[in-house]
Structures are given as structure tokens and as C-alpha cells.
Amino acid sequence: MNKNLFFLLFSLSLSIILFGCKSKKAIQQTPAVDKYSSEIYDSLSNHHLDFDWFVAEGKGKYQMNDKSISTKTYLRLKKDSIIWIVIKKFSAESNRILLTPDSFFILYRLEQKFERGSLSNLLATNQIDFSFSELQDFLAGNVPLVDSSAYKNTIENNFNTITFPYRELMAKLYLNPSDLTIHHGFVQDDKMQTIRLIMDDYRLRPDGHKIPYFREYLFDFENGDEAKAQFEFSEIDINVPKKTRFTIPDYYDEI
């Protein structure tokens, strides 16, 4: 894992909020009981959001060591086609980002500069072996689904838990016993670099899916750096097409 890519995906892409915002949900009271791995898999699969368009906006800030920035973010995903993000600071647009399966483009409004290149080269440079569709799932809040035979499931602190390998990573999720939605968890690599997450403020959609409007991330990097981030959506629309305008002004300088 590489912190530069994480901050492309979070501080630039998502401009997530962070630090000091508490979970909104009351402490769950439903007692956890043993579940079959297949039952947990079916629940995670049912909560996996299948979308053609994912459109969201929210406010936030992120922190890396002693630096923090507050933002307003607009996110639009067109399945297998586009990741589009606009980031505002103090009501003025600071960044506009466009990712496609082949390319990435970033506008730096305040500096009147832009950056572009191959998405595969960007991911390879940051030693990340994710596909474009996996990036979209990550931004939409979907977790990787692996065969239930790989699950090791237990009960800890009144949560149903599953531990499973994913690529070169090890993941552990803590599930609310009432509906098996994800409450918190972590992903760790062989260098003990870790992403910890909390998902909360689930809201039931008309199609039966529950979507977490609150997300919190904490990063521990190999060099000792730490990052904390939260994102709190104010609006989420599924399968509502939106415009994804992106033009590079002639007077912008390329980085």
C-alpha cells in the first residue's frame, strides 16, 4: 500500500471527512448468535450495491499527521466507465478529477494546472493491483466478496466477525448481529500497514439495500505516518444519470 494513492482516492477523490466525528448509531442491543459462513456471505452479497450510476455529495475534511483540510465533495460513478469528482474548499472549486479505465485527469483550479496520464501506470507506480471496477466498488462502499469457504467466522464483543484473505491482504469485518451489515473492520498487508474502517448511519433504500451514509477511515503506514478520515454523505442517488463535465482550460499548465 502507498499513502500517495490513498490520498488520490481519498483526499482528492473523495475528500473525505475525518477526525473527531462520532458514530451516529446507538449501541446495538441484539445479541450475536453463531452464523453459517454461507449465511454471512448471502447477507454481504445482498448488501452489495449493484449500480449503473452512483451519485453522492457530502462535506468533510481529512488529516495527515498535523495537516487537515475541510471540503465539500461531489462524486459520480458511471459503471465501468467514469469516476468523476469535484472538490470545493471555502465554496470555491479546488480540484476536478476524472478517472476512466484507461486514464486519469486532475485539474488544480487554484494553481491553474492539470495532470494526466495512464491509470494503469498510476496504480502500478503506487503498487496497487486493483481494477477500475474495484476502485468504483470501493468508492461506492462495496466490500470484496470472496468464496464463503475462505471465511473464518466467530463472535467477538457481541459482533459476528469474519476473517478472510483478499489478494495479498488480510481482512476482518465486524458485523451488526441484527442485520449483518458492516459496523467496523480492518484490512492489513504483510508489512502491517492497516486501514481501519467504521460504517454507520445505514439508511434503507426503496430497493431494499441499506447504504452507510457515515464512513470513517484510519490509516497506519509503514513509515509511521498516520491519517484519519471520515466521509458523511448528505445525498446519495442510485441510477440517476448526471452530467460529468470535464474540460481542461487552454491557459492551464501541465504538470
- Mean pLDDT, the chain, rounded, equals 80
The whole model's pTM is what?
0.77
Strands 182-188 and 226-238: unpaired
* CA distances, 225 to each of 12, 13, 26, 209 (Å): 18, 20, 32, 36
Q: Tens of pLDDT along 129-165?
A: 678 888 888 788 787 778 888 888 899 989 999 998 8
Backbone angles phi, psi at 42, to 5 degrees: -60, -40
Give pLDDT, residue 28: 54
Q: Tens of pLDDT along 9-24?
A: 443 333 332 222 334 4
- E strand segments, the chain: 53-64, 67-78, 82-89, 92-99, 103-108, 113-118, 152-156, 159-166, 169-175, 182-188, 194-204, 210-220, 226-238, 253-254
For 3-241, the fitting CATH number among 3.40.120.10, 2.50.20.10, 3.30.70.2200, 1.10.760.10 is 2.50.20.10
Whole-angstrom distance, CA of residue 13 vs CA of residue 211: 19
Give pLDDT, residue 126: 63
Buried/exposed code over 51-69 (b: 16+ C-beta within 10 A; e: otherwise): bebbbbebbbbbbbeeeee
Write down the domain spans for the chain: 3-241
Specify which of 11-20, 90-99, 167-176, 242-251 reaches the highest per-range mean pLDDT. Answer: 242-251
